[in-house]
Amino acid sequence: MKYKDYYETLGIKRDATETEIKSAYRKLARKFHPDVNKTKEAEEKFKDINEAYEVLGDKTKRQRYDSLGANWQGGADYTPPPGFENFSFNQNGGEGFGFGGGFSDFFSSLFGDMMNGAGASGSTYSRFGGFDGFDFAQNTTNRSRTSGTRQNSKEDLDITKTLNVTAKEIFDKKPISVTYTLMDKCGYCNGGGYCSHCGGTGIVSEQKTVNVKLPKEVTKGSKVRLKGEGKTGINGKKGDLYLVINFKDSEYEIDGPNLTKDIEITPPEAVLGCSKKIKTLHGDINIKIPVDVSSGQSLRLKGLGLQTSNGFGDLNAKIKIVVPKNYTNEIKELYKKIQLLSKE
C-alpha cells in the first residue's frame, strides 16, 4: 500500500490553518469538479482532493494522520498498524463522490474504524458546501467495517521493507544498521483513541533501529527475516520484519558476484594506451590500458569481485573516454591537424 500525502494533494504546508485548508480545497474543487472539467485525469484528481479534505478538514482525522510523522513521501510503502488494516470503508457501494471509485485503501486502513456505523439507518449526506452552484454532496450509505475484530494473523503483523545495499557493504560482511518507523495500535486504548498516550489517534509510532547481517552470496530480491521485529498483535503476538535486498551503488554495477566499474581515460590515453591506478574492494591496483581501446570496452580483472562459495567473482573495468574541459588552444589546434590527417 502506498502512503498518500494529503498536504501535497491540497498544495499546503503541514502547519496550515483550518481556513487555509478550506480555501485550498475550494479552489481545487472548482478547477477539477467533473461538471466543469470533463477529463479522466480531473475526475481522479477530484477524488484525491475530496479524500484529502475529508482528512485534513476534520480535526480528529487530521490528528491521527499527523501522528504518522512528517517524514513520509507520497508513494512510499506504507504498512498500517495491526487491527486497522482490516477496516473497509466504501461509499455508494464503492462509487465514492458520485463519480466512480471510493476512498483509497490508505484512507480505509487509517479511518475505517471512525466511519463504522455511519449511515446505518439510511442514506446520510454530507456537503462540503457553497461552491458557486456546484453540488458536492456525497452519499455515505454503506459505510462498514469488515473484519476489524478478528484475530490478527501472522501475515497481518509482518512488515516488508526494501533494503538498499552497496557492493562494499556486501564485501565487508559487517552488520548494517537499519532504522524504520513502526506504527502500532495503541496498547492503552486498544486503538480506540480514548487516551493521552496516543493523543487520541489510536496509533503510536516509534523509530526502531536493528542490525542486519547479510547472508552469504546475497542476491537481488532475496529476503532477510528478522524475527519478532514486526508489529504487535492481540495477546502480545509479534510479527517479523522482512527486508527485501536491492542493489544500489553509485560506483559499481552488481551482477551476482561480478562487478562493473567505469574507468575514465582521455582520448590520448585511449589512442596510445596507458597505466591507470584504480580503486577496488580488494585495494588499489594498477592496470594497463591497451592501445586503441574503445569507449564501452571492458577489461576483465579476475578475482576482484564479490565472494562466492569457492573464491571471488570478477571486476569488469569498463572504459569511458572523457574529454577534459581545460584543453588549451594549442592542444585544440593539434586535434584539428589530427582530424585532417585522419581524413587523408
Task: Please check the confidence at residue 15 and state whether its pLDDT lies above 70.
Answer: yes
Q: What's the whole-model pTM score?
A: 0.55
pLDDT digits (tens, 9 = 90+) for 139-175: 333 333 333 444 556 567 888 899 999 999 999 989 9
Polymer length of the chain = 344
| Mean pLDDT calculated for residue range 46-73 | 83
Confidence (pLDDT) at 123: 31
- Under 8 Å between Cβ of 112 and 89: yes
Residue 303 pLDDT class (50, 70, 90 cuts): very high
- Nearest in space to 263 (alpha carbons), one of 286, 230, 291: 286
Task: Report pLDDT for 101.
Answer: 43
Q: Which stretches does DSSP call E strand in the chain?
A: 125-127, 137-139, 159-165, 176-185, 203-212, 223-226, 241-247, 253-255, 258-265, 274-280, 283-289, 298-301, 307-308, 311-312, 315-321
The CA distances from residue 343 to 74, 136, 309, in Å, are 56, 73, 53
Q: Which 3 state secondary structure label does DSSP give 23?
A: helix
**Inter-residue contact 175 to 213 (CB < 8 Å):** yes
Three-state DSSP string of 109-120:
HHHHHHHCCCCC
Q: Is the dihedral of CA 328, 334, 338, 339 positive or negative?
A: positive
Quote the cell numbers at residue 267. 582520448
Lowest mean pLDDT among 164-178, 232-246, 276-290, 312-326: 232-246
More confident residue, 88 or 3: 3
Q: What is the DSSP string of 60-90?
A: HHHHHHHTT-S---TT-B--PPTTTTT----
pLDDT higher than threshold 80 for residue 130: no
Neighbouring C-beta atoms of residue 89, cutoff 10 Å: 26
3-state secondary structure 201-242: CCEEEEEEEEEECCCCCCCCCCEEEECCCCCECHHHCECCEE
Express as a percent the part of the chain with pLDDT over 70. 74
